[in-house]
Structure 1
Amino acid sequence: MSSATLVTSGVVLLTVVGIAYGGTFLLRVVNGAFPANELQRSYFRAGHAHAGVLVILGLVVRLLLDQPTVPDWGRLLGDLVLLAAILMPAGFFLSVVGRNPSTPNRWRLLIPVGATSLVIGLVAAGVALILGGLTAV
């Protein structure tokens, strides 16, 4: 594994601590210690869940793609999974900021942008792994 991959993967892994801390915020919201309406509670839950799952998925994809027979473009596009781990949760959280919003604001557009990033990253990673595996045979 390259030193750049090791360093960035370490940084990404440390973000899980931030996600865990976000879980304490979510508990305060659910317990009523932080005022939030139902829309905000739903979006906060979705943002927290997406952050946790997508960061771990992004790290797994990164590890899988770190093989010498995997094309370089696969590694590059595979990192779109980690970009999705930023964009989608940000869309969920930022689109419901404020006092008692009744609908999500324009930041909600980050959610489908992140979903597109996720799909492209996963498809590219899958194809790159298949090609890398066929090359190794």
Structure 2
Amino acid sequence: MLELSDPARITAGIVLLTVVGIESGGLFLLKVFGGRMATTDLQKSFFRAGHAHAGVLVVLGLLCLLLTEATALTGFVRWLAGTGVLCAAILLPAGFFFSAMGQGRTSPNRAVVLLPVGAVVLAAGVVTLAAGLLLA
């Protein structure tokens, strides 16, 4: 039986509650694609990408959190391995949603900077976890 540390258990519990928020994003997308909200093609694409990234990265983040328990990592690198993907699960969807906000938007606003930041955090988290697992 896998035994989680208290921080990992608490983090996993909180992250699982975010699934309700992702579900409400799905309802939002139904309005967008059902024609009940006026949106541009950019907004439709970015809203879809934001929702998809949120769902996939939360699942991957939970897996990374569990796998981190099998490493000997400590300190900041343990935190990065365990929660880097979960941080990216906030940054990337936020970049998609916030940069497409605004009536009639046809190009992303400055919040688009969150996308490369999120991508770097995602890569740093998975590479750190991979190294921790390979060196354990």
Tell me the TM-score normalized by structure 2: 0.92
Structure 2 runs not aligned, ≥5 long: none
Report what 2:62 is aligned to.
Answer: 59
Once the two structures are superposed, residues 70-91 of structure 1 have per-residue CA deviations (whole angstroms, 9 ceiling, x without a partner) of: 2125421111111100000000
The equivalent residue for 1:76 is 79
Residue number in structure 2 paired with 1:41: 44
Q: Which runs of 5+ in 1 are unaligned?
A: 133-137
Are 1:116 and 2:120 an aligned pair? yes
- TM-score by structure 1 length? 0.91
- Aligned partners of 1:65 and 1:74 also within 8 Å: no
Query: What is the CA–CA distance in structure 1 between the aligned matches of 2:104 and 2:125, rounded to whole Å?
Result: 35
After superposition, what is the alpha-carbon deviation per residue over 1:14-69, rounded to whole angstroms, capped at 9, x for unaligned?
101110111111011001112111110000000000000001100000101112x4
- Summarize deviations over 1:94-128 as a string: whole Å, max 9, x none: 00111101210000000010000000100000000
Alignment partners' CA distance in 2, 1:16 and 1:74: 26
CA contact (8 A) 2:26 2:51 kept: yes
User: Structure 1 residues 115-124 or 74-83, which shifts more?
Assistant: 74-83
Q: Which residue of structure 1 aligns with residue 132 of structure 2?
A: 128
The residue that corresponds to 2:17 in the other structure is: 14
Q: RMSD value over aligned CA atoms?
A: 1.1
Runs of 4+ more than 3 Å apart: none
